[in-house]
Structures are given as structure tokens and as C-alpha cells.
Amino acid sequence: MNEPVFVMDDVCKSFRSGSDELSVLRNVTLQAFPGESVAITGASGCGKSTLLNVLGGLDRVDHGRILCQGYSVDSLSERELTHYRRSVVGFVFQFHHLLKDFTALENVMLPMVMAGKGKKEAASSALEALERVHVAERASHYPAQLSGGERQRTALARALVNDPDLILADEPTGNLDEGHKDLVADLLFQLTADTGKTLVLVTHAPDLAQRASRSLALREGHLVEA
């Protein structure tokens, strides 16, 4: 039997604004295995991004445990969290967040350079990653010279270049027109499944959620079957 890639156990997360406390995640428990994709849907503001953020080590839980590939994510120091994010997790967001003064190739090289890889190795891995998302011919273009779909595929290449075990995608097709939506979604599912990665996908689109191996909804802080 495979080990789960991550286990979230009894996770709680609240936000305080003034004297009010907003309880966003209430005893959330979730685990996923290699090659599995889990879709999470739910109303705007219900806590989907918060769930991805705590799982990806971008934010901290108030209570509960998160274990992922040997990391106790809930209790890491800032330094260890940075290492966890760089080596285990690939993020894809609704907006591409590419750096405008860097070419597509340089943007995809960045995670590798940050992880201490040499420039030559980073460039060749980045080019391979761009080939997998069919943007290699645009490698020397700046983000402003790419179409919306090409930008988002470049962002996908950047998320995959370090070969992370866990891909966290937050509305990855939310900002694209219909034609590009399908292409990016196809690549996301294909590239994660082919390499046995685990995908947690937040989306408002029911057709996208249905393509995942499991589809869950976040309601009033709890995960339920969608």
C-alpha cells in the first residue's frame, strides 16, 4: 500500500478582524495518495485558498497537524518552511505571477536557481518544462509578449520544474478564455498523473472538478463529498 503524500488532521484556522473571529477551517481532515487528484469547490470566501495556503506552508494552522513527505508542516521554522515549499510543493495560481522583466525561460529557471541549482542545469530543465507545456518556442519572450494561455502554461512549467510531489492549483483556469481553459486543464491533469504527482485543485468550475479522482466541497469550514 502506498503512503499518503500528505495528511491534514483536525486542522483549524481562524482569522481575527478587530474583535471578531472568523473560523474558516474547522477540524478539516484530508489525505491524498501519489497520482491522486482532489478537487475542492465551495462558495467564494469559504476558505478554499486558506486550505491550500496552510497545506503549502504559505500560512500557519491554529490547531491540528499537517504531514507531507516527511515534513511536519504545522511545526516547521520559517527556514524549514521555505525549504518545504521549494522542494515539495508546486503552486499554480489564478493569476500567473510571472516576473515581467524576466523571459519565460528565466521565470521557469527561478525556482531551480533559488533551490541552489547551477544556471546551466536550471536552463536545460526549464526548457524541458516549457516543452512539456508547448511554450518552448516562446522561451525568450517576456510575459507581456505571451498570450494569456501561454502565460498560464509558463506558470505551470514553473510549478513543475523542481519536480514537486504535490501540486496546489488555485483556480488555475479562472482567468482564461474557453479555449485556453481546456488546454491548461488538460496539461495540468496529464502532467500530474503521468508523473504520479498529487494534485489539489481549487475551482468554481464543476466540469473541471469532475475530472479529478475525488471531488470535495468546503462548507462552513468542513470538507464534505461534493
Q: Can you give the binding site for ligand ATP, defined by CB under 6 A?
A: 15, 17, 22, 24, 42, 44-50
Apex CA 30: angle with CA 46 and CA 58, to 5°? 60
Phi, psi of 210, deg, nearest 5: -65, -20
Q: Largest Cα–Cα distance of the chain, in whole Å? A: 54
Q: How far is the CB of 59 from Mg ion (least distance, A)?
A: 12
Looking at the Cβ atoms of 49 and 192, the one nearer to Mg ion is 49
Q: Could you say whether residue 94 binds Mg ion (CB under 5 A)? A: no
**Could you tell me the three cell numbers for 30?**
484530508
User: In this structure, which long-range contacts are made by residues 129-137, counting pairs with CB atoms below 8 Å and at least 24 apart in sequence?
Assistant: 129/157, 129/158, 129/160, 129/161, 130/104, 130/105, 130/154, 130/157, 132/157, 132/160, 132/187, 132/191, 133/157, 133/187, 133/191, 134/187, 135/104
Phi, psi of 174, deg, nearest 5: -65, -25
Looking at the Cβ atoms of 26 and 141, the one nearer to ligand ATP is 26
Q: Which does 206 bind (CB under 5 to 8 A by kind): Mg ion, ligand ATP, none?
A: none
Q: Which residue number places its CB atom closest to Mg ion?
A: 49
**Could you tell me the three cell numbers for 195?**
508523473
Q: How far is the CB of 162 from ligand ATP (least distance, A)?
A: 25
Q: Which does 44 bind (CB under 5 to 8 A by kind): ligand ATP, Mg ion, none?
A: ligand ATP
**Could you tell me the three cell numbers for 50?**
486558506
Q: How far is the CB of 205 from ligand ATP (least distance, A)?
A: 12
Looking at the Cβ atoms of 14 and 195, the one nearer to ligand ATP is 14
Q: How far is the CB of 36 from ligand ATP (least distance, A)?
A: 21
Looking at the Cβ atoms of 49 and 154, the one nearer to Mg ion is 49
153/135 Cα distance (integer angstroms) = 7
Sole binder of Mg ion in the list 49, 107, 173, 198 (CB under 5 A): 49
**Residues of this chain that bind Mg ion (CB under 5 A):** 49
